Amino acid sequence: MRRHLHKGGAICILLAGIATLPLVANAEVSRGQILASTCFACHGTDGKSPGTIPAIAGYPPEVLERQLKGFRDGSRAATVMDRHAKGYTDEEIKLLSEYLGTLK
């Protein structure tokens, strides 16, 4: 048995699709979020490390920014973070730190 969509049903489906457009537009990903995604391999899903590697979710942005710059310039001791931090500009470190600070 085939069912046909009547004109009113088609309009309802179209309106429902249009109504979700603002939700898609608001789902924009920030540059800080993109940069932070590489951190999660070691620091745990969404920065919530379950192990010995420090959790970074909700970390104060000013502190994290200072620490990342310290890793980058060699003034903070590291085993791996110094190599990661060298790949970031000051602006990227700021964006990354600010994003991680928003995570709870």
Lookup result for tokens 């995604």: 37
Q: For residue 28, what pLDDT is reported?
A: 82
Residue 8 in any domain: the answer is no
Residue 74 in any domain: the answer is yes
Residue 7 in any domain: the answer is no
Q: pLDDT digit string (tens) for 70-98?
A: 999 999 999 999 999 999 999 999 999 99
Residue 3 in any domain: the answer is no
Domain that holds residue 65: 30-102
For residues 32 and 29, give the distance between their C-alpha atoms in angstroms, rounded to a whole number. 8
Number of domains in the chain: 1
Residue 73 in any domain: the answer is yes
Q: For residue 2, what pLDDT is reported?
A: 54
Residue 42 in any domain: the answer is yes
- CATH for 65: 1.10.760.10
Report, as an integer, the average pLDDT of 20-45. Answer: 80
Q: pLDDT digit string (tens) for 56-74?
A: 999 999 999 999 999 999 9
Residue 16 in any domain: the answer is no
Kindly write down the DSSP assignment for every residue of 63-95, as one continuous string: HHHHHHHHHHHTSS--SSHHHHHTT--HHHHHH
Residue 25 in any domain: the answer is no
Report, as an integer, the average pLDDT of 2-15. Answer: 51
Q: For residue 9, what pLDDT is reported?
A: 52
